[in-house]
Structures are given as C-alpha cells and as structure tokens.
Amino acid sequence: MIDALVQNSAERVSRLRRHDFVRNFRRGLSLMLSERTTRIYGVFLLFILTLGLVGPWIAPYEYDQRMRGDDGGLLRIEEPSAAHPLGTTEQGFDVLSRVLYGARPTIVAGILGGSMIIGIGLTIGLTAGYVGGRVDDVLMRFTDLIYGVPLIPATLVLIALLGVGYFQAIFIIGALLWRGSARVIRSQALQIRERPFILAAKATGASRPYIILKHILPNVAPMAVLFFALGMGYTIIVMAALAFLGVADPFIPSWGVMIRNAYNSGVMGTAWFWALPPGFLISLTVLSLFMFGRGYENVVSGEDEGDQALAQAT
C-alpha cells in the first residue's frame, strides 16, 4: 500500500512537471492574444520595443545635430513641417529624432527595473511563503521596513549619495519597489504549499529548492508576469519623474529628459509639439504595460480555476 501511495505521488509530480514556468507563459500568452483589447496593448508594446531597437538607426537626424536654415541661423521652436514632422526644440534639435533616440533608454530602464523588482520579490516571497517560521518572520519584517521608506525622497537622498547616474537610478528604484510583489507572492506560496501535489512532492523526497522551482514557481507565474509588467511601468514613471526633477543624467536621451527640457525652456505652452509626444508615449507605454500584465494574470488565473473545477468534477 505504501509503494502504491509513493507511486501515485510520483505520477502526480511527474504530471505537474509539464506545467513549468515557460509552458504556463506560452499558454497564457496565446490565450491572452485571442482577446482584442489585450492584443491592441500588445501590438503597441511591440511597436515601442521596435522603436527602442531601431530608433537611432531610423532617426532622420543625429540626436545632438542642430538644425539650421538657409541663412545659417538655428531653427528654434519651428512648428511641424515636412522636414521636421514634430518641429524643433529651442536649441534647434529635431524633436522626432529625439523621440526615436529616447525610446531605447526608456525601455531599457523599464526592463532592468522590472527584472530587478520581480527578481527580488520572487526570491523573498517564495522563500518566506514556503519555508515559513523564523525565516518568514525575518523576511517579512524586512519587507515592512522597506515599505516604510518613501520612494521619491529616499531616491533623491540615495542619488545624492551615490551620484547622479542612469544605472544608479534604476538600481535604487528596483531596490525599493519589490516590496509589493514579495507580499502578494508570499501569500500565494502559503496557499500552494498546502496543496496535495506539494505534499506528494515531499513524499518523494524532493528538496525545498526543487519544490520551489519546479512546483511553486510555475503556479505563481501569472502573478510574476503581472508584477514584472507593473515594475516596468513604475520604473519608467519614476525615471521620468526624476528626470523632471533634474536628478537624472541629462546626457541620457530619455523621454523624461525631453519633458524636463521642454518645461525649463519656458515655452512648453506654445511648443506643444515638443512636450506632448514624449509625454503621450510615456503614458501609453505605462498604460499598455499595466493592462497587458493584468490581461495575462486574468487569463491564466481563469484558466487555472477552470482546470481545478474540472478536476473536482471528475
């Protein structure tokens, strides 16, 4: 009887292995793209990613190239025209070229920040939720401590200590914004560790790291994707805010720096073609990230609930 129980547990664990993180991701992505609204957000994100990859190559002018007229004078605050579809800045730079150049650092910041946020959040959340006990208490008290740190003031102080820099700002943002994902993922891990297939994995002698990576991580994949998307969006917003406050690297051609330059010029009200494009792109990118991540979480969670209902019915 014991042999049969162990064999049955091993079969359950073997079936569960097929539902790994990548398989959950691919399955949820295919279902999510079947929805029209989510597909629209996905297409826009793909467009932004494409701009980040090829933007500097397709820009009509160099980022720091000043536009001059036939008389040799700078073309300052020129309205949109055939030669300059988005006009020029007060310093005579082509706005369209700056928008195309600014896509890459903005997207790279979002990806790096989102990866750091979900990486730390997953590590702390899964460890605290599955191991429990004193480890859980220590990790959650540390998370509470990070929750008590105000984001923007702390970022300003740390940037003053570490120095103004592109990667320094991303590191600080990622080191502070993982707290929300850690709490939610911990709560999911607490529920999952009590399920029968986890007990079956323990019965086969599986180690803690193996159970976490092979069995718990795939089940929190939808939430991980959601927080990765949220982390990207928050990083882009905070980086733009830091640029507007003047504590970001002004030599990195991001969209946030463009908005700051337009504001400092004093002609933001009249030179709408300078300030609005980067502002709209930041807003739409963050909105698309939030809705795309939410769509993935909703679709995969709904499918998992359906699978569980079917399993109970049979």
**What is the 3-state secondary structure of 68-127?**
ECCCCCECCCCCCCCCCCCCECCCCEEHHHHHHHHHHHHHHHHHHHHHHHHHHHHHHHHH
Residue 182 scores a pLDDT above 90? yes
Task: Kindly state whether residue 81 falls inside one of the protein's structural domains.
Answer: no
Give the helix/strand (H/E) hosting 209: helix 208-211
Domain membership of residue 274 (yes or no) is no
Nearest-angstrom CA–CA distance, 110 and 35: 25
d(C-alpha 154, C-alpha 151), whole Å: 5
User: Residue 24 is part of which domain span?
Assistant: 2-44+103-254+286-313
Would you state the pLDDT for residue 114? 94
Q: Tell me: the pLDDT tens digits for 239-253?
A: 999 988 888 887 888
pLDDT digits (tens, 9 = 90+) for 279-296: 999 999 999 998 887 776
Contact 111, 232 (CB under 8 A): yes
Nearest to 106 by CA among 268, 289, 262: 289
Domain contains 160: yes
Q: Report, as an integer, the average pLDDT of 294-312.
A: 52
HSE-up (13 A, CA, CB side) for residue 135: 11
CA–CA separation, 182 and 185 (whole Å): 5
Tens digit of each residue's pLDDT (9 = 90 or more) over 11-27: 444 444 444 556 655 66
Global pTM reads: 0.82
Q: What is the pLDDT of residue 301?
A: 56
Please indicate, yes or no, if residue 173 is contained in any of the structural domains: yes
Tell me, yes or no, whether 63 lies in a domain.
no
Q: Is residue 23 part of a domain?
A: yes
- Is the residue at 33 inside a domain? yes
Residue 281 lies in a domain: no
Q: CA 5, CA 27: separation in Å to the nearest integer?
A: 31
Contacts of 66 (CB under 8 A, 6+ apart): 74, 91, 92, 93
What count of Cα atoms within 13 Å lies in the side-chain half-sphere of residue 132?
Answer: 9
**Percent of the chain having pLDDT more than 90?**
36
* Chain mean position to CA 28: 18
How many Å apart are CA 68 and CA 250, to the nearest integer?
A: 23
Q: Which pLDDT tens digit goes with each residue over 105-125?
A: 999 999 999 999 999 999 999
CATH number, domain containing residue 300: 1.10.3720
Please, which pLDDT band fits residue 69 given cuts at 50, 70 and 90?
Answer: confident
What is the count of structural domains for the chain?
1
Mean pLDDT of 150-160: 87
